[in-house]
Homo-oligomer: A and B are copies of this chain.
Amino acid sequence: MPQAPHVLISEVGPRDGLQSVKATMPTADKLRWIDALYAAGVREIEVASFVPARLLPQMADAAEVVRHAVTLPGLTVMALVPNRKGAQAALEAGAHKLTMPVSASAAHSLANVRKTREEMVEEVRAISDLRRDIAPHVKLEAGISTAFGCTLQGLVPEDEVIWLAAQCVEAGADESGLSDTVGYANPAQVRRLFKRLRAELGDKAGAAHMHNTRGLGLANCLAAYEEGVRTFDASLGGLGGCPYAPGASGNVVTEDLVFMFEASGIATGIDLQRLMEARAPLVAGLPGEPVYGMTHEAGLPKGFVQGGSHV
């Protein structure tokens, strides 16, 4: 009997990954990739970003991708929305869940979106009100970016991270998660911040979005798991920046993360073999683009059986 999943792996490759590469994946390949992820058992996918096509031509087909993804039963279809206008478009396309990035670094917020953090909280409120009016079943997540440090200002005070996460929930977000946007996090810090987040927000404490820029991605996911986090963002094939190169965005590799959990006896609901097969449409749709993943390179251990029976 398959176990009920104990953790939720939220695949962000079709949004975070594709957004970070220069090439544009043809829509048909995106749909095949999403289908393959779904076939492997992935049940939450961030499929697109609703930003102006002139800024991100890779996301010009966002509405079409969402309209396809919502036909897959049981899949939670997420879309990134930077503002109210993007949220309107995502809701019209039928997304189940919106995620809005809000930077905990005052310097990063101003540099990146030319808004203060307080102004971003008001944007969260506007989006929350909008979805309440036109699609009240749709969930809204605030993703607190640079929560573990920032390349512009360095340290981001933990009090400010927790304050901002709480402000976003107060403004109407269903949950606030924490993102290690630049790969500065360490396991002790991850434990402290998620412990505080859960103390502050209870079950409105959201996902861990960890990067592997300095090799600590899986260790940080493990630390977050031990503090009770049960949703983890990851990118198939580490798409969206070589995790082993300078300046890389370095999302945690989905295959390695699923291997860590499944080998540890923590069910993900994802079939590792089929997950690795989902690399084929990704590679086909982005010829020449490097993909990563050490579990894929090394192969599964001899005698490995998913679901903890090996261990």
Quick check: is A123 within 8 A (CB to CB) of the other chain?
no
A302 CB contact (under 8 Å) in B151, B189, B253, B293: B151
Residues on B with C-beta less than 8 A from A311 are 186, 188-189
Across the interface, do B246 and A215 meet the contact criterion of CB distance under 8 Å? Answer: no
Taking the closest CB of chain B, its distance from the CB of A161, in whole angstroms, is 13
Which chain B residue shows the least CB distance to A300? B214
How far apart are the CA atoms of A307 and B150 in the complex, in Å? 19
Quick check: is A60 within 8 A (CB to CB) of the other chain?
no
Interface residues of A in 226-261 (CB under 8 A from B): 243-248, 250, 253, 256, 259-260
Quick check: is A33 within 8 A (CB to CB) of the other chain?
no
Across the interface, do A214 and B298 meet the contact criterion of CB distance under 8 Å? Answer: yes
- Total copies of the chain: 2
Which chain B residue shows the least CB distance to A149? B301
B-contacting 9-mer, from A12-20, A71-79, A83-91, A216-224: A216-224
Quick check: is A41 within 8 A (CB to CB) of the other chain?
no
Across the interface, do A155 and B310 meet the contact criterion of CB distance under 8 Å? Answer: yes
A150 CB contact (under 8 Å) in B243, B302, B310: B302
A189/B294 contact (C-beta < 8 A), A150-B302, A302-B150 known: no
A215 CB contact (under 8 Å) in B154, B218, B223, B266: B218
Quick check: is A292 within 8 A (CB to CB) of the other chain?
yes
Residues on B with C-beta less than 8 A from A247 are 298
Chain A interface residue bracket vs B: 35 or more
Taking the closest CB of chain B, its distance from the CB of A241, in whole angstroms, is 11
Across the interface, do B299 and A260 meet the contact criterion of CB distance under 8 Å? Answer: no
How far apart are the CA atoms of A266 and B155 in the complex, in Å? 18
Residues on B with C-beta less than 8 A from A260 are 186-187, 215-216, 219
Taking the closest CB of chain B, its distance from the CB of A23, in whole angstroms, is 22
With contacts A189-B311, A215-B293 known, what are 19 further pairs, Cβ within 8 A? A149-B301, A149-B303, A151-B302, A154-B302, A184-B301, A186-B311, A189-B264, A214-B294, A214-B301, A215-B218, A215-B256, A215-B259, A215-B294, A215-B295, A216-B256, A216-B263, A218-B218, A222-B222, A250-B298
Shortest 9 CB-CB distances between A and B: which pairs?
A154-B303, A186-B263, A188-B264, A215-B294, A215-B256, A154-B302, A218-B219, A184-B301, A219-B219
